[in-house]
A = this chain, B = another copy of it.
Amino acid sequence: MVKTWTVGYWPIPFRGNFVKVILEYAGEEYDVMETSEVIQLKTAAVSAQPVPFIGPPFLLHNESGFAISQTAAIVEYLVRKFGFVPESPELAALAQKAVLDCIDVLVEITRHNGNQMWTRDAWSEFRGPGKRLDQCLGVLEELAKRHGLKEEHSTGFFLGTEKMSAADFAVYALFEQLARCMPPLIHDLERAAPRVWKLCQRIGENPKLQAFSNAQSQRWGRSFCSGQIEASIFSMIEQDEKAS
């Protein structure tokens, strides 16, 4: 039977998880498109695409035929659909900002989606106390801190909202895969964004998200973004581990 939604993405967590964690948390039924079909649609003429797009993820609503691409636009669509948008327009905007900040971390750690491979020199500017990754995580930490998220006795959500917002889904999608696929990075999350990391651990106690996380580990192991750039990141982290 056709499910409500279909997610088109590569067989990795990465950007796809920003969409999938919302569907999982909301208890929505969705199919994941076969990779061969994703490739076929990505390379098809724009007129043959369900929504004109350059790269996945994209999301299809199977009954209506509605389709949408661009991770942050899909996230915003789903949080509005499922009632996870803060009432205050200011908080709603900050939630979106946090989503974009999280996606930027994916872009930076993969050197713009594998555009360049890591060298030790470049990596040493990226990872380490006060370096670029810490700065990116620190921006998230500071935003949550200003909205009342505590480091000790952690309760509540990223922007101090009553329930999850796009910001919570996004930091969870990001931190969960960083920690699971590259466990040494947990040290970095704890150092640069302790509040947000504790929040993510709390969010991850949700049974649906826990099952989703386990299923990804079983299917894909520690695969994060795949390709040469994944090997490059993993090799940098391995060298860091040996040196420490």
Chain B residues whose C-beta falls within 8 Å of the C-beta of A90 in the assembled complex: 66, 68, 77
A92 to B66, CA, bound (A): 12
**Which of B53, B72, B112, B143 interacts with A115 by CB under 8 Å?**
B112
Q: Is A230 an interface residue (CB 8 A)?
A: no
By the criterion CB–CB under 8 Å, are A143 and B51 in contact? yes
Chain B residues whose C-beta falls within 8 Å of the C-beta of A135 in the assembled complex:
46, 54
Q: Is the CB of A96 closer than 8 A to any CB of chain B?
A: yes
Write the chain B residue with the least CB distance to A69.
Answer: B97
Report the separation of the CA atoms of residues A116 and B136 in the bound assembly, to the nearest whole angstrom.
21
Contact digits for A52-89, partner B, Cβ 8 Å, 1 yes 0 no: 11100000000000101110111011001100000001
A46 touches B139 (CB 8 A): yes
Q: How far is the CA of A54 from the CA of B80 in the complex (A)?
A: 27
Cβ of A104 within 8 Å of any chain B Cβ, yes or no, is yes
Main secondary structure of the interface of A (DSSP, over half): helix
A26 within 8 A of B: no
| Complex contact B116–A97 (CB within 8 A) | no
Q: Does A93 contact B (CB under 8 A)?
A: yes
A39 within 8 A of B: no
- Is A151 on the interface with B (CB-CB < 8 A)? no
Residues from chain B with a CB closer than 8 A to the CB of A99 are 73
Cα A103 to Cα B89 in complex, Å, equals 22
Any B CB within 8 A of the CB of A138: yes
In the assembled complex, A94 has its CB within 8 A of some CB on chain B: yes
Q: Are A139 and B89 in contact (CB under 8 A)?
A: no
Say yes or no: is A24 at the interface (Cβ < 8 Å to chain B).
Answer: no
Of B73, B97, B142, which one neighbours A70 at CB under 8 angstroms?
B97
- Extra pairs beyond A49-B142, A53-B139 (19, CB < 8 Å): A46-B139, A52-B138, A52-B139, A54-B139, A68-B93, A68-B94, A68-B97, A70-B100, A73-B93, A73-B99, A73-B100, A76-B76, A77-B92, A111-B115, A112-B112, A112-B115, A115-B115, A115-B116, A116-B116
